[in-house]
Chain A
Amino acid sequence: MTGKLKASLLAGVVGMAMVVTSGQATANDELKKLQTDPNQWVMPLGNYSGHRYSPLDQINKDNVKNLKVAWTFSTGVLRGHEGGPLVIGDVMYFSTPFPNIVYALDLNDNGRIIWKYEPKQDPNVIPVMCCDTVNRGVAYGDGMIFLSQADTTLVALDAKTGKKVWSVVNGDPGKGETLTAAPLVIKDKVYVGTSGGEFGVRGHLTAYNIKTGERVWRGYSMGPDSDILMDPEKTTHLGQPVGKDSGTNTWEGDQWKIGGGTTWGWFTYDPDLNLIYYGTGNPSTWNPVQRPGDNRWSMTIFARDADTGMAKWVYQMTPHDEWDYDGVNEMILADIDVKGKATKALVHFDRNGFAYTMDRTNGALLVAEKYDPVVNWATHVDMQTGRPQVVAQYSTSQNGEDVNTKGICPAALGTKDQQPASFSPKSGLFYVPTNHVCMDYEPFQVSYVAGQPYVGATLSMYPPEGADHLGNFIAWDASAGKIVWSNPEPFSVWSGALATAGDVVFYGTLEGYLKAVDAATGKELYRFKTPSGIIGNVNTYTHKGKQYIAVLSGLGGWAGIGMAAGLTEDTAGLGAVGAYKQLANYTQLGGVLTVFTVD
């Protein structure tokens, strides 16, 4: 165990010792083992390290052109389908957007429904979900399926029957607190985050006991050290102790109480270090003038002890955010050579357009480079202080309220949003779905009212000057910090990638294509148009010895809302005339699962 417990923090953690012994053996060993079995897909990111990689190679770069649809399934829900299915044994599990139906489908019977769980939720939660009513998937552990409902209820379902085992309420939708992120199970605990950065919610990561649903710990993103579960001496930021009250004295007055830093992305885990990794979102409001200071620990990579929640190290990527560059994207844990040295690395493609390679054992910053050349809001990241060097022209804070700052790249959507990248240990490369969009941003005064939007900025988004496309799918070298190849895509790539030992990489597009490309060159090998735009994540598994590829279609999410009506034409005319036919001309809403195979 790496983190050291502080007695003071343990007080109030009810019956933890007991809990640890009772549940640990089963779930712990089970999942640690299952995540290495390529025949199943037991967690949303494929394994604890977040690789989204499969050693399967039945489907490979030579025969992928023969890929064909094996079976399909309508989810019965229209909204944006992020996330993707799990496969445990002969059963496939997935969740839908609101109303958050969970399906268990029988792979022995072409996807016949074994059980279906549909929670009753107050529809008033719908309008407090900022960017569509998405749900990024369920988690499996200890014979149960865990669902994060939109209304913040965490439910444990019996994986065999779909019967509710327990449920617990994680937050208050009346204050704008919602849930969209998939939970993660580690040992005897299940971890959930929170959404609501556009409503002045204070983010946190919370661990519940897997057997009972009892809360074990909660670590906030900002506030007093005891709320964050942070030790001023032992928790470090780039090797230095964070010091006392960092989560309050970098805010004006009480603003940290509505400080944002929500935790709606992905969680990964290193069993040897016993650390759980994730990032925090934007500080509330989007008007930076209204919240002076660094606003710690919004926009931050957290490494916490999985048992106690104590923060071991943190790194704030975007102090005092002025562009809504949430830091929630997945932290991929890869053992790679970085600048010639074998490293237990953490690789993170941030919304702010920089790709970070860190030493995940201690939080040392090793590489920080732009993964889209158009990124312009900062020249570079100072490797000593870790601070981005902000370009005054693009600083919405320096330009001030009621001033429209133009031509900032990337847009608030980020160079990449939550759509998870993939890492192939075979090629050593990262495969990254990206956005290629810039923006104008005008901040103005807002008042906080609980449960009402707390935004305070207007944005227009458009393609970079002279560009005729809104997305790229790239291969990235995390040691050199360089793009290896880049495929332009007409729209943002909002789908999680999958790399396999068959030397192919799969991803979906907003027009609805499932594509397979050559892992070495990016050359397109296959495409198939599914019924709706893809913002879901591709997975793979075997059934009766045969390899399958599965993905959810269902246009929506931020991409769907922002783009379904077409982008604003502010500067689109400058060189991209006509390039932006409306996405609505290509595809419509509708949740469908498509499963592929080769004969």
Chain B
Amino acid sequence: MKCHPCIPVVAAAALFCAVSAGLPAAAHAQEGDKPYTVEGGKVDQGTYNGFRRYHSICHTCHGPDGLGGSFAPNLAESLKVLKFEEFIGIVAGGRQNVSASSESVMPAFAHDPNVMDHIQDIYAYLKARSDGVLGRGRPERLAQK
């Protein structure tokens, strides 16, 4: 699969269309409360892709399997409260909490297609972890329908 051309994204609100425009619908995790499919420990393509993307970019701070590291919060926990809109807003815009005792910086990924083109998939993966339906480690892929 070749990478999609970089779609400039300015506001988080514009993302939904930008992202869906760039990707074939079938490759996506589904939207809604359960944006993933997990059957017998196997996951759909989108959720699998989310696992991969998460573990190439986010895991250095948020730890393996979304469990949190010494650097950044446990996202499996965060997604119990964060809505998709809030999630995407933080990922696109970043967040800082810097003081004498804290130097917590979440980078802004709005201009990074390696994140933004796959943000629904990353969300789906983390949501599956958060809902407790997906264990740790690399999931198996469901056969493509």
Asked if B46 is at the interface (CB within 8 A of a chain A CB), the reply is no
Q: Write the nearest CB–CB distance from B144 to chain A, whole angstroms.
A: 12
Of A99, A404, A440, A560, the residue contacting B103 (CB under 8 A) is: A99
Count the A-B residue pairs with Cβ separation under 8 angstroms: how many?
A: 114
Q: Contact mask B3-16 → A, CB, 8 Å, 1/0?
A: 10010000000000
Which of B69, B94, B106: most chain A Cβ within 10 A? Answer: B69
Are B64 and A567 neighbours in the complex by a CB distance under 8 Å? yes
A447 with B113: CB separation less than 8 A:
yes
Q: Which residue of B lies closest to A133 (CB)?
A: B103
Q: Across the interface, which residues of B come within 8 angstroms of A460, CB to CB?
A: 55, 64, 137-138
Chain A residue contacts of B103, Cβ below 8 A? 79, 98-99, 123, 126, 133
Is B80 in the interface zone, CB < 8 Å from A?
no
Check A330 for interface membership: any CB of B closer than 8 A: no
Using Cβ atoms and an 8 Å threshold, which residues of chain B touch A453? 56-57, 60, 112, 114
Docked complex Cα distance between A459 and B57 (Å): 11
Look across to chain A and name the residue whose beta carbon is closest to the beta carbon of B112.
A452
Tally of contact residues, B, Cβ under 8 A: 39
Most buried by A among B2, B69, B70, B103: B70
Specify which chain B residues have a CB less than 8 angstroms from the CB of A302 in the assembled complex. Answer: none
Interface string of B21-55 (1 = CB under 8 A from A): 00000000000000000000000000000011111
The 10 closest A-B pairs by CB, nearest first: A127-B107, A458-B55, A565-B63, A452-B112, A565-B67, A568-B137, A126-B105, A570-B137, A455-B56, A458-B52
Of residues B1, B51, B57, B111, which shows the largest number of chain A Cβ atoms within 10 Å of its Cβ?
B57
In the complex, chain A residues whose CB is within 8 Å of the CB of B57? 453, 455
B109 at the binding interface (Cβ < 8 Å): yes
Q: Within the assembled complex, what's the spacing in Å between the Cα atoms of A404 and B112?
A: 24
Tell me whether A447 and B138 are in contact (CB under 8 A). no
Whether the pair B69, A561 counts as a contact (CB closer than 8 A) is yes
Min CB–CB distance A515 → chain B (angstroms): 23
Contacts of B20 in A (CB 8 A): none
- Interface-centre pick from B2, B63, B71 (highest chain A CB count, 10 A): B71
With known contacts A453-B112, A570-B137, A445–B2 Cβ distance under 8 A:
yes
Residues of chain A from 521 to 560 with CB closer than 8 A to chain B in the complex: 555-556, 560
Q: When the two chains form the complex, which single residue of A78, A98, A449, A567 contacts B113, counting CB atoms closer than 8 Å?
A: A449
Q: How far is the CA of A80 from the CA of B6 in the complex (A)?
A: 35
Whole-angstrom CA separation of A442 from B84 in the bound complex = 27
Contacts of B68 in A (CB 8 A): 565
Residue of B nearest to A461 (CB): B64
| Contact, CB under 8 Å: B64 / A568 | yes
Nearest residue (CB) in A for B101 is A78
**Given A449-B114, A589-B70: A569 in contact with B137 (beta carbons within 8 A):** yes
Q: Among B3, B63, B138, which residue has its beta carbon within 8 angstroms of that of A561?
A: B63
What size tier do the contact residues of chain A reach? Answer: 35 or more
Given contacts A449-B111, A460-B64, A570-B137, 17 further A-B contacts (CB under 8 A): A127-B94, A131-B60, A442-B52, A446-B114, A452-B109, A453-B114, A454-B114, A455-B56, A458-B51, A458-B138, A460-B137, A562-B64, A565-B68, A565-B69, A568-B137, A569-B136, A570-B138
Cα distance A444–B53 in the bound complex, in angstroms: 9
Decide: A447 and B137 in contact? CB cutoff 8 A: no
Q: Does A402 contact B (CB under 8 A)?
A: yes
* With A458-B55, A561-B69 as contacts: A568 and B136 at CB distance below 8 Å: yes
Which residues from chain B contact A385 at a C-beta distance below 8 Å? none
Interface residues of B in 64-120 (CB under 8 A from A): 64-65, 67-71, 94, 96, 98, 101, 103, 105-107, 109, 111-115
Q: Chain B contacts of A401 at CB under 8 A?
A: 1
| CB of B61 within 8 Å of the partner chain | yes
Interchain CB contact under 8 A, A556 and B136: no
Instruction: Decide if B69 touches A564 in the complex (CB within 8 Å).
Output: yes
Task: Decide: B98 and A123 in contact? CB cutoff 8 A.
Answer: yes
A130 adjacent to chain B (CB < 8 Å): yes
**Bound CA–CA A404/B1 (angstroms):** 15
Q: Compute how far the CA of A123 lies from the CA of B64 in the bound complex, rounded to whole angstroms.
A: 24
Q: Which has the most chain B C-beta neighbours within 10 Å: A404, A457, A458?
A: A458
User: How far, in Å, is A41 (CB) from chain B's closest CB?
Assistant: 28
Residues from chain B with a CB closer than 8 A to the CB of A589 are 70
When chains A and B are docked, how far (Å) is the Cα of A32 from the Cα of B96?
Answer: 45
B114-128 CB mask vs A (1 if < 8 Å, else 0) is 110000000000000
A446→B3 CA distance, assembly (Å): 7
Contact yes or no, A447 B3, CB < 8 A = yes
Are B52 and A444 touching (Cβ within 8 A)?
A: yes
A404, B114: Cα distance in complex, Å: 19
Query: A111 at interface (Cβ–Cβ under 8 A)?
Result: no
| 15 A-B residue pairs with CB within 8 Å | A99-B103, A126-B105, A127-B61, A127-B94, A442-B138, A447-B114, A449-B111, A452-B115, A453-B57, A455-B56, A458-B52, A459-B55, A565-B64, A565-B69, A569-B137
Judged by a CB distance under 8 angstroms, whether A108 is at the interface is: no
Name the interface residues of A451-482: CB closer than 8 Å to any CB of B.
452-460
How distant is B80 from chain A, measured CB to nearest CB, in Å?
Answer: 17
A132 interface residue (CB < 8 Å to B): yes
What B residues does A98 contact at CB under 8 A? Answer: 103
- Within the complex, the shortest CB–CB distance from A592 to chain B, in Å, comes to 16
> B112 is contacted by which of A80, A130, A402, A449 (Cβ under 8 Å)?
A449
A472 to B37 alpha-carbon distance, docked (Å): 41
Give the contacts of A158-212 with B (CB-CB under 8 A): none
A402 and B137 alpha carbons, distance in the complex (Å) = 17
Is the CB–CB distance between B96 and A123 below 8 Å? yes
Q: How far is the CB of A127 from chain B (nearest CB, A)?
A: 4
CB-defined contacts of A561 to chain B, threshold 8 Å = 60-61, 63, 69-71
B113 touches A564 (CB 8 A): no
How far apart are the CA atoms of A128 and B107 in the complex, in Å? 8
Contacts of B98 in A (CB 8 A): 123
| A564 and B138 contact, Cβ closer than 8 Å, known pairs A447-B6, A452-B109, A453-B112 | no
Which B residues touch A404, using CB under 8 A?
A: 138
Min CB distance B74 to A, Å, is: 8
User: Known contacts A562-B64, A570-B138: does B6 contact A452 (CB below 8 Å)?
Assistant: no
Alpha-carbon distance between A555 and B138 when the two chains are bound, in angstroms: 26
Complex Cα distance, B64 from A98, in Å, reads 23
- Kindly provide the distance from the CB of B13 to the nearest chain A CB, expressed in whole angstroms: 21
CB pair B6 A124 closer than 8 Å:
no
Decide if A566 is an interface residue (CB 8 Å cutoff): yes
Contact A127 B3 (CB under 8 A): no
- Cα distance, A444 to B54, chains bound together (Å): 13
Q: Which residue of A lies closest to B113 (CB)?
A: A447
State the CA gap A570–B94 with chains docked (Å).
Answer: 31
